[in-house]
Amino acid sequence: MYMSTVFGNLLIILAVSLDPHLHTPMYFFLSNLSLVDICFTSTTIPKMLLNIQTQSKVITYECCITQMYFFVLFAGLDDFLLSVMAYDRYVAICHPLHYMVIMNRQLCGLLVLVSWLMIVFLFYCTSVGVYLTSAASHSSYSSATASVMYTVVTPMLNPFIYSLRNKDIKRALKAFFFRGSAVKDQLSWG
């Protein structure tokens, strides 16, 4: 599931980066969401996989705090980017004639930058408190199941939900892979 998450999100970033037709605000935000999803899952899943492999649940205090910081950072950033994407769709639907003027390159960059910046202030402080004072009444099995759902399953499905079902992304990926196989064929004949 982790490799599927990373691979799917990397494909989206690659498609948006390489296809000039996808250099629009919507795809700019989607590629940022894909990057954040990779970072989000990479904060916890590698350590979890190591723990499963070694049958050890040990983590140092420093590693735990660092992991929690980045986990909350990327979870909040995910939320902010989804909000920015909702605003982008609002402008596209409600103000279609002014869309390119409103959603210019500077505003898109500013929206992503702002998402990357208060996240620290808004989510970091409140989420650390929630995690440090979690109630002991929950079973460890239900907590682990819930954790896997929002740390692994959701980021794995995001590429399919937001992009890989999209015809423009499919077209860009087909062009990329077709171009790659054409180059490989030329090299084998040359």
Q: Quote the tokens at residue 126.
A: 């409140």
Q: Residue 177 and residue 190: Cα distance in Å, rounded?
A: 20
Q: Looking at the chain, list the stretches that DSSP marks H as alpha helix, in order from N- to C-terminal side.
A: 2-18, 25-42, 45-54, 61-94, 99-102, 105-116, 119, 125-132, 140-148, 154-158, 167-189
pLDDT per residue as tens digits for the range 104-141: 888 888 887 777 666 545 545 555 555 665 554 455 55
The type of residue at 169 is I
Query: Apex CA 33: angle with CA 157 and CA 116, to 5°?
Result: 145
Q: Residue 68 and residue 62: Cα distance in Å, rounded?
A: 10
Instruction: Please name the CATH architecture into which domain 2-189 falls.
Output: Up-down Bundle (1.20)
Amino acid 136: pLDDT: 46
Please identify every stretch of the chain with a pLDDT value under 70, giving residue numbers as ranges.
116-155, 161-165, 180-190
Query: How much is the pTM?
Result: 0.68
What residue spans define the domains of the chain?
Answer: 2-189
